Amino acid sequence: MSDQSPAPHAKPHLTRDHLLDLLRQMVRIRRFEERCGELYQQEKIRGFLHLYIGEEAVAAGVMGCLHPEDAVVATYREHGHAILRGVPMTAVMAEMYGKAEGCSRGRGGSMHLFNVGTRFFGGNAIVAGGLPLAVGMALADRMRGRPRVTACFFGDGAVAEGEFHESLNLAALWKLPVLFVCENNLYAMGTRLDRAQSQTDLHLKAAVYQVASEAVDGMDVVAVEAAARRMTDAIRDGAGPQFLECRTYRFRAHSMFDPQLYRDKAEIEDWKRHDPVARLSAWMRETGMLHDADLPAIERETEAEIEAAVAFAEAGQWEPVEDLAKDVYTREVHP
Amino acid sequence: MTDADITVAASSRTITYRDAMREALRDALLRDERVFLMGEDVGCYGGCYAVSKGLYDEFGPDRIRDTPLSESTFVGAGIGAALNGMRPIVEIMTVNFSLLALDQIVNNAATLRHMSGGQVSVPVVFRIPTGAGRQFAAQHSHSLEGWYAHVPGLRVVAPATLEDARGMLWTALQDPDPVVMFEHVMLYNMEGTLAATTGPVDIDRAAIRRPGTDVTLITYGGSLSKTLAAAEALAADTISAEVVDLRSLRPLDGETVLASVARTRRAVIVDEGWRTGSFAAEVSARIMEGAFWSLDAPVARVCTAEVPIPYPRHLEQAALPQPAAIVAAVKALMGA
């Protein structure tokens, strides 16, 4: 965790343009979520809101390793994943508002972002419930001979669920092309990892199912990307499922209802010293790859994108109540 | 043997419910390469109830896919495969085991279309043996069809005849949404004749299995034969009972039920589920809402006793709806 420089094996790929892009992606989702937090206080966004702030290096590092025909299955803390997968920020923000222009027509809200066009399959709010879906999507690709990867994101909490173990076993047994990405932020809601797991080295659990596994510093976007690149390459080469544990930390509460009684402020402050955005920009500055004008330009572009997304959401329409029962079934069914 | 006998022999055959179901599976596997069967012991073992016997040898381990004992995950995998272009048939060994997969069925299969704003469909078929009668005791014998019928987004069907065993699967596979198909375990050995030309059947409408004028007996699945036996017994006492086989629990064909009750003015519902919160309660409520003024008597129900199904045969049979209880319920309504 203390190592502040990117993993050395990844360095050959580290062009200024590429690093700037990683930085830009992390800033986009960081600022988007900060704005969502404000909009929640203003009651524009309701229900549950789970912010990803602090964990951006994971989604940013993995998402760039995926191809358009690959699929993504994520959790309820998935705004960043959706945006980085290519779901327009406008459609994501409208979904946060519950507007009909949202990526799930406003029906899902923050926890259920879906976008078939970018093969983004949720937005799954049952912990570990997305893993079997990812296994099945990969099974379909395998049976149809399609060289695709399904990337499945989940937290450390999911590792305690039976479906985690069943899914790892099945994916390994059938050698399915799944990239399991464990976003280990140390807390399952308010329960610290060592209060829930007898074995806190989570990647070891994958290893016992014969799934190639690795743990990386999830606050280091370059390290995450390098590992994800190796693993997606291996999957594409037919090596079967891979498990990437990203050790990360959420800086904000679990949800907007969480008073955070279970952790010390000092612990949060300590982790903030590893902030993935600050860390990458500092390192780029030291190595001369970040110019003075770069970050302000990224911030300006991001602000404009977010303002446009908010305006889009504000201008959006509520789905007509007459459509309430639409799309319960694909064909009309009267129960 | 006359020419007429030969014609009959050529156009129909004797078959069991199990074999009809297997034919339907084989037919689907041959017709659509996206179809595959997945579940516990469906392959090498030949299926817990021998429904898929022989298919593993014919279609191989890729399409007749044995799974570990991981109900939630292989059910979820069926949903994921359906999302990604396949037409999976997932067998869950018994309805009691399906509870281990209820999360995937209720939270994913049933919700994904509506929750995603209509972007996805989940064309998966779950085949679930259900019901009591084989002395399998309290963890293999229950009838939880009503629970599934409670859930919007699912279709729930219960083939009770050879024609439906042969014909419902293909129609269910053509449906873009998840279909839960309940096969009562006491039906697998049922034998009868089936026309050689029997093909796909609708999965929307109830069917009148026996016309009658004095009372409507409404049932589904494994209770159909008991209800028909009761109707036969009632006929001996000059009570004419109409028997409605619901076939589909969701959607429920209220039109057929209400039209029948409007004619007979009396209704008894026979349901192997427990009475409290049963599917029979739903049917009863529909009749109250739609045919109250046609009724000459309160709606009656014959359900399973409110106990976990016990092992000894006499207690198991005592717990289940039986023809005698159906006859008694009808006679009570008729004041006979």
Choose, from B23, B40, B58, B140, the residue flagged as catalytic: B140
How far is residue A34's CA from residue A305's CA, in Å, rounded to a whole number?
14
B140 classed as catalytic: yes
Q: How far is B149 from chain A (nearest CA, A)?
A: 9
A282 half-sphere exposure, CB direction, 13 A CA radius:
11
**Considering only CB atoms, which chain B residues are within 8 Å of A115?**
119
pLDDT, residue B197, reads 84
The one-character DSSP state at A200 is -
Query: Contact, B127 vs B89, CB < 8 A?
Result: yes
What is B92-124 written as a DSSP string?
-S-HHHHGGGHIIIIIIITTHHHHTTS------
Closest CB from A115, A137, A330 relative to B83: A137
Choose, from B23, B40, B58, B71, the residue flagged as catalytic: B71
The mean pLDDT value of chain B amounts to 96
Count of helices and strands (H, E) across chain A: 12, 9
How far is residue B331's CA from residue B235's CA, in Å, rounded to a whole number?
12
pLDDT, residue A14, reads 87
Q: Is the pLDDT of residue B7 over 60?
A: no
pLDDT, residue A8, reads 45
The residues with which A188 forms a beta bridge, in sequence order, are: A191
Contact between B118 and A105 using a beta-carbon 8 Å cutoff: yes
Closest CB from A107, A121, A170 relative to B68: A170
Q: What is the distance between the terminal CA atoms of chain B, rounded to a whole angstrom?
A: 47
Closest CB from A137, A166, A333 relative to B72: A166
Contact between A136 and B79 using a beta-carbon 8 Å cutoff: yes
Contact with chain A for residue B321, Cβ under 8 A: no
In chain B, positions 243-262, which contact chain A (CB-CB < 8 Å)?
A: 250-252
Confidence band for B94, pLDDT divided at 50, 70 and 90:
very high
Look at strands A187-188 and A191-192 and give their pairing.
Answer: antiparallel
What is A257-273 written as a DSSP string?
T---TTS-HHHHHHHHT
The vertex-B128 CA angle with B123 and B131, nearest 5°, equals 150
Which single residue is written with the structure tokens 């043996």? B129
Query: Contact, B120 vs A105, CB < 8 A?
Result: no
Confidence band for B10, pLDDT divided at 50, 70 and 90:
low
Structure tokens at B270: 């026979």
Closest CB from B79, B116, B252 relative to A114: B116
Burial class (CB within 10 angstroms; exposed 0-12, middle 13-18, buried 19+) of A42: exposed
Q: Is the pLDDT of residue B2 over 70?
A: no
Closest chain A CA to residue B86: A140
Contact between B77 and A329 using a beta-carbon 8 Å cutoff: no
Contact between A327 and B114 using a beta-carbon 8 Å cutoff: yes
Burial class (CB within 10 angstroms; exposed 0-12, middle 13-18, buried 19+) of A181: buried
Contact between B115 and A108 using a beta-carbon 8 Å cutoff: yes
**Considering only CB atoms, which chain A residues are within 8 Å of B81?**
136-137, 139-140, 143
How far is residue B76's CA from residue A137's CA, in Å, rounded to a whole number?
10
Q: How much helix, strand and coil, in percent to the nearest 5, is found in chain B?
A: 45, 20, 35
Q: Which domains does chain B have, with CATH numbers?
A: 3-195 (3.40.50.970), 207-334 (3.40.50.920)
What is B228-279 written as a DSSP string?
HHHHHHHHHTT--EEEEE--EEETT-HHHHHHHHHHHS-EEEEEEEESTT-H
Phi and psi dihedrals of A66, rounded to 5?
-100, 150
Cis previous bond, B251, omega within 30: yes
Closest CB from B67, B73, B114 relative to A107: B114
pLDDT, residue A332, reads 86
Nearest to B249 by CA among B144, B174, B133, B170: B144
Per-run averaged pLDDT (10 residues), chain A, 335 residues: 46 83 98 97 96 98 98 98 98 98 98 98 96 98 97 97 98 98 96 96 96 98 98 97 98 91 95 98 96 97 98 98 96 85
The whole-angstrom distance between residue B67's C-alpha and the CA centroid of its chain comes to 24
The whole-angstrom distance between residue B1's C-alpha and the CA centroid of its chain comes to 38
Cα radius of gyration rounded to whole Å, chain A: 19
Contact between B73 and A170 using a beta-carbon 8 Å cutoff: yes
Prediction pTM value? 0.95
CATH T-level assignment (fold) for domain A17-323: Rossmann fold (3.40.50)
Q: How far is A287 from chain B (nearest CA, A)?
A: 44
Contact between B80 and A140 using a beta-carbon 8 Å cutoff: yes
The lowest-confidence range among B104-108, B153-157, B195-199, B327-331 is B195-199
The residues, ordered by sequence, that sit 6+ positions from B58 with a Cβ below 8 Å of its Cβ are B26
**Considering only CB atoms, which chain A residues are within 8 Å of B86?**
139-140, 143-144
Q: How far is B238 from chain A (nearest CA, A)?
A: 36
Sign of the Cα pseudo-torsion (A77, A78, A83, A85, in order): positive
Structural domain spans, chain A? 17-323
Contact between B86 and A126 using a beta-carbon 8 Å cutoff: no
Structure tokens at A85: 């997968």
B109 half-sphere exposure, CB direction, 13 A CA radius:
34
B71 classed as catalytic: yes
Q: pLDDT (tens digit, 9 = 90+) per residue, B191-202?
A: 999 998 888 999
Contact between A330 and B70 using a beta-carbon 8 Å cutoff: no
How far is residue A116's CA from residue A143's CA, in Å, rounded to a whole number?
21
pLDDT, residue B9, reads 52
Instruction: Kindly report the number of other CB atoms within 10 A of residue A292's CB atom.
Output: 8
Contact between B119 and A114 using a beta-carbon 8 Å cutoff: yes
Q: What is the mean pLDDT of residues B111-136?
A: 97
Which single residue is written with the structure tokens 């806190």? A200
Closest CB from A73, A104, A121 relative to B117: A104
What is B144-195 written as a DSSP string?
-HHHHHTSTT-EEE---SHHHHHHHHHHHHHSSS-EEEEEEGGGTT-EEEEE
